[in-house]
Amino acid sequence: MNRRTKISAVMAGIMGLILGLIIASSFDWTARSSAFDKAEQQKLHEQLQKAEPTAQAMNEIYRNVYKLVSPSVVSVVTEKAPRSPHRWRRELPRGWQRFFDMPDMPDMPNPSQKEVGEGSGIIVDEQGHILTNSHVVDGVDHGSGKIKVYLYNDKSCDAKVVAVDKKSDLAVIQIDASNLAPAALGDSSALQVGDVVAAIGSPFGLPETFSVGVVSALGRTSVDVISGGFRVQNFIQTDAAINPGNSGGPLVNMRGEVVGINTAIATRDGGNNGIGFAIPTSIAKPVLESLIKHGKVVRGYLGVEIMNINDAVAEHEGYASAKDMSEKLGLGGKTEGAYVHEVMSKTPAYKAGVMPCDVIAEYLGQPVKNVDDLRSRVMATEVGKKAALKVIRDGKPLELTVIIAEQPEAEKKAAEEGEEENAPSSNFGIVPEKLTPQLARKYGYEENEGVLIGSVEDGSAADLAGLKEGDCILAVNGKPVKTVKEFNDAMKTAEAHKKVKLRVHNSERLFDVLLKLGKQEE
């Protein structure tokens, strides 16, 4: 490069720099940066100082809630025999997995090792009763394992199971200890969306963990986090962090009152994604009292078969669509409420004058959202209590009064929807379940296609064959089955021969499987 070229390059650089400074100054970038560093930062600092008393007041509330409730919260550690080595086959995710605070099962667990589970609980009285989830103590509720409870002061106690209610996913265990700090159970019906709540428990085995969020929804039903056909569902939804190990711990309001029992999270990866579910105290309190007093849950009963108003039910009832059904029933196109398909004879609903094709719109003065909503509230109602019903009949509102009765023994086995109790139909280990319209939609089946597998017993012939919850059984030994009764009868007949051939369908394939009692070849 010659001397003239060098000078030209330097001059071009200087001119570029000058031009850049002129442009920068026209936009006032340097002045703006300087102003932000000084005046703006000072202004923000002064604003934060003014707001500090409000922030400190909120901090004080959080601290006091934690100090008040944390002595009532315990860590629950269970030890039990390992689950079947083949259980993993039926625990593979199907769609959007709901994670139940249980550790993932390894592919081939060591039979000599004990399976350890972790959860939380809340002390409810000075007699040492602790409320937790039934799935936290699952597998040790029949004396087949051990439960260790760790208190806030690092003391530990052995615990025994008092009673379990799997339909609400609640259980009561008890410890022998003194100087306990029972929690106050509050009124969950006073909650509103947006209320601040806190979750306390032992996520990932970290005791006394405190997380804060808000109530993000109320009255969540059909969440599919409690297995079985006859479930109690009316969840509080919250974004307070709930993780594996929080199950059974309290959700509390800013008065330090327990308003829910943390139960499950909706997740794709097993961790917190900002959607957690808690059983409200409106359900938990009567279950707790009944488990302690009776060793079981005494549930209220109406005596009706009820359905949600949707397209599948509308088609079943002879309507063109859910909207058509709603309009012809006089609901103005709305689908809220519980449609009465059938009224059982000599039941509380029958005596009160409830009729088929009625729509139960209100119960105890509160609107009925759907079947799960009504069912949960009826079951939580004290037996013998008079309850106001508002039904829509032929498009007109009608006020009725029903006297709630105790659920009959027969209904405990068949439940209000005519479904069988969650018990294996035979020694093959399959717990059948009626394929309702809701479950058919969930698993992608046609309604009345067969009988659903509600669950499978660990180590059973069905378990070893790889059958899992959500599979649909179409035929037993070549004979089609469409009801739980047909399935049970066929399986009992097959049990005498100690083997049975099933035709099974799921979202992936249609296949036949042979189940044998006794030792089964892999």
Report whether 433 contacts 453 (CB < 8 A).
yes
Is 497 catalytic? The answer is no
Alpha-helical segments (H) within 419-521: 437-443, 461-464, 484-495
Is 135 catalytic? The answer is yes
Q: Write out the two tokens for 493.
A: 């007949």
Q: How far apart are CA 252 and CA 248, in angstroms?
A: 13
Report whether 256 contacts 70 (CB < 8 A).
no
Return the number of other C-beta atoms located less than 10 Å from residue 153's C-beta.
8
Q: Write out the two tokens for 176.
A: 């022998």
Q: Which of 138, 141, 165, 169 is catalytic?
A: 169
For residue 292, the SS3 value is helix
Q: Write out the two tokens for 224.
A: 């599919």
Phi-psi region of 431 (alpha: psi -120 to 50; beta: other; left: phi over 0): beta
- Pairing between strand 196-201 and 209-220? antiparallel
Q: CA 461, 465, 471, 473 torsion: positive or negative?
A: negative
In sequence order, the 6+-apart residues with CB closer than 8 A to the CB of 365 are 388
Instruction: Name 217's bridge partners.
Output: 237
Q: Which of 168, 202, 247, 290 is catalytic?
A: 247
The angle at the Cα of 359, spanning 353 to 365, to the nearest 5 degrees, equals 80
Q: Which of 75, 84, 129, 135 is catalytic?
A: 135
Report whether 342 contacts 356 (CB < 8 A).
yes
Is 72 catalytic? The answer is no
Q: Please measure the distance between the N-terminal and C-terminal CA atoms of the chain and give it in whole angstroms.
A: 83
Strands (E) located in 253-371 = 258-266, 276-280, 300-301, 304-307, 338-343, 359-363, 366-367
Q: What distances in angstroms separate CA 482 from CA 306, 448, 489, one per listed residue? A: 20, 6, 12
The angle at the Cα of 344, spanning 341 to 345, to the nearest 5 degrees, equals 140
Return the number of other C-beta atoms located less than 10 Å from residue 294's C-beta.
10
10 Å CB burial of residue 243 (0-12, 13-18, 19+) is: buried
| φ, ψ of residue 185 in degrees (nearest 5) | -90, 120
10 Å CB burial of residue 216 (0-12, 13-18, 19+) is: middle
Closest by CA to 213, choosing from 170, 270, 265, 175, is 265
Q: Which residues are catalytic?
A: 135, 169, 247
